[in-house]
Structure 1
Amino acid sequence: MHEPLQVSYLLQFDTGQPASCLFELGIAPQPQAEEPPSWARLDYKQCRNCPLKASEQTWCPFASEVARVLTPLVQHHSYDALTVTIHWRGRVIEQRSTLQRVLGSLIGFVGATCGCPRTRPFLPLAFVHQPFSEADETLFRVVGAYLIGQVLRANRGLSTDFMLSELPELYGHLRQVNLGMANRLRSLSDSDHGVNGVIVLDILASQTQDLFEALEDNLLPYYGAYLD
């Protein structure tokens, strides 16, 4: 069995205190040392498409993990400039960015790994996490991960969807979750970085959806060898 994959993001801010912040996140959520804030309760601005019941569990899995990321950043703003150093799969990525752009990447990873039923299908994207991914890269990863899932289903005698007909619905659920998370975070008065990070993430989801609608036009140029 392989060791669980972990990614670390070191944020070094140009100004303000604290000057740096380190996040170490794994494919599986880690137990929380402290109780999440009240806005992370499942019944607080619960997503419209959430299948979970507040009578059965207290905390929203996604909001609880987002809170873990946002809490150390409460003194910062979405436009704060920084240098981020990412350690992932033996690689080191360093980039100049803003807090909201980094949070878009971080929250995307957290969403896929938190255990939310609506984001759980995107866990394979965390396995091949691509910080600051563009929409065309995300499209390739999403479609590839989905088709591998269909191969695994076929190998187990389950129904399959090799024509990708159900993928738009999964993306629709994902965007409803992004909307729900943004609504939660808008109710906070201490900073704007969380909601803007979710907006950055959802813009990527929207762009990926648009590319998916013209899938062949976007990917066909690279697949000539498969069509000979």
Structure 2
Amino acid sequence: MENNQEVLKYTYTFIFNNGTEKKFEILLDKNTLDLISSNQTEVADWAKRENFQCANDLCNSKFEKYCPIAVNIDNIIKFFSDINSYETVKIYAEVDERTYFKETSVQKGVSSLIGIIMPVSGCPVLSKLKPLVRFHLPFASIEETEFRVISMYLFVQYMIMQRGGTPDWEMKKLKQIYEDILKINRVLSERVANLENKDASINAIVALDNFAQFISSSLEYNDLSDFENIFKEWLE
């Protein structure tokens, strides 16, 4: 790490019912939102790109031999491989300027944690979601996630317009992005399912996939009616 590199740090601390604590620290370059290397020397065989069907047509990552997502969530998968997804856990999530706390299921905590790592790992598809990581909201609901995704995308279109480009106000490209995300989630969940003795991590990825499916469906049918009431002062 360069001395002048600005660092953004996210820390998730899991406190289990037996008193055991486990801390996961994520360091990002604050300017690029790239994940700062943890100096991991060994990469698990399951992370090889040949094991991921989505690599052929979606991945042009700098990672030549490995899926960048798999490489960076391997330590999480290993830790939670013997833990049930429904087990209750206390979680402190330290995010930039504030700390969040939630007593919830392990799978929801792991889902929130993996939701940070996937976009910043180097995957060219998920990297489009980096702005959400910069303003990460731990334990977000489906509705909160949908609002944040759409707001992010329309903000990007405004910046494209300001630069003289052609904005995608109909969000057609966002639909394609989420179709690709769904494909990645499903391939990843299949691989993780083969690694775990129990189901904490696989259910965490399934939860992320459910979020993606919900957003994809809303975009497919142009159904944003759930938000109309809160915007009525703008729409009347």
Contact in 1 for aligned 2:61/2:68 (Cα 8 Å): no
Alignment of 1:163-182 (within 5 A): 163-182=170-189
Aligned length: 226
| 2:127 equivalent in structure 1 | 120
Contact in 2 for aligned 1:182/1:195 (Cα 8 Å): yes
Residues in 1 aligned to 2:51 and 2:129: alpha-carbon distance in whole angstroms: 24
Deviation at 1:192, TM superposition (A): 2.4
Deviation at 1:99, TM superposition (A): 1.3
Query: 5+ unaligned residues in a row in structure 2: which ranges?
Result: none
1:183 aligns with 2:190: yes
Residues in 2 aligned to 1:51 and 1:216: alpha-carbon distance in whole angstroms: 28
Instruction: Specify which of 152, 163, 179 is matched with residue 156 of structure 1.
Output: 163
Is the alpha carbon distance of 1:14 and 1:53 closer, same or farther for their aligned partners in structure 2, counting shifts above 3 Å? same
Is the alpha carbon distance of 1:63 and 1:20 closer, same or farther for their aligned partners in structure 2, counting shifts above 3 Å? same
1:11 aligns with 2:14: yes
Contact in 2 for aligned 1:8/1:88 (Cα 8 Å): yes
Instruction: Specify which of 208, 213, 222 is matched with residue 201 of structure 1.
Output: 208
Is the alpha carbon distance of 1:173 and 1:99 closer, same or farther for their aligned partners in structure 2, counting shifts above 3 Å? same
Contact in 2 for aligned 1:6/1:24 (Cα 8 Å): yes
Residues in 1 aligned to 2:115 and 2:69: alpha-carbon distance in whole angstroms: 10
2:172 counterpart letter in structure 1: S
Q: State the SS of the aligned residue for 1:159.
A: coil
Q: TM-score, normalised by structure 1?
A: 0.88
Deviations 1:106-152 (A, max 9, x none): 11111121120111111111112111111111111001110111122
Is the alpha carbon distance of 1:156 and 1:90 closer, same or farther for their aligned partners in structure 2, counting shifts above 3 Å? same
| 1:21 equivalent in structure 2 | 22
Is the alpha carbon distance of 1:84 and 1:214 closer, same or farther for their aligned partners in structure 2, counting shifts above 3 Å? same
Is the alpha carbon distance of 1:50 and 1:8 closer, same or farther for their aligned partners in structure 2, counting shifts above 3 Å? farther
Is the alpha carbon distance of 1:34 and 1:79 closer, same or farther for their aligned partners in structure 2, counting shifts above 3 Å? farther
Contact in 2 for aligned 1:66/1:110 (Cα 8 Å): yes
Residues in 1 aligned to 2:233 and 2:72: alpha-carbon distance in whole angstroms: 43
Is the alpha carbon distance of 1:153 and 1:109 closer, same or farther for their aligned partners in structure 2, counting shifts above 3 Å? same
Query: 5+ unaligned residues in a row in structure 1: which ranges?
Result: none
| 2:36 equivalent in structure 1 | 30
1:57 counterpart letter in structure 2: E
Deviation at 1:2, TM superposition (A): 9.2
Is the alpha carbon distance of 1:116 and 1:34 closer, same or farther for their aligned partners in structure 2, counting shifts above 3 Å? same
Is the alpha carbon distance of 1:127 and 1:189 closer, same or farther for their aligned partners in structure 2, counting shifts above 3 Å? closer
Deviations 1:26-77 (A, max 9, x none): 3421213232211111111332664336997011111111113223334423
RMSD in angstroms over aligned alpha carbons? 2.4
Contact in 2 for aligned 1:11/1:22 (Cα 8 Å): yes
Instruction: Specify which of 211, 226, 234 is matched with residue 226 of structure 1.
Output: 234
Contact in 2 for aligned 1:40/1:59 (Cα 8 Å): yes
Q: State the SS of the aligned residue for 1:21.
A: strand
Q: State the SS of the aligned residue for 1:9.
A: strand
Contact in 2 for aligned 1:49/1:176 (Cα 8 Å): no
Residues in 1 aligned to 2:11 and 2:196: alpha-carbon distance in whole angstroms: 28
Deviation at 1:208, TM superposition (A): 2.8
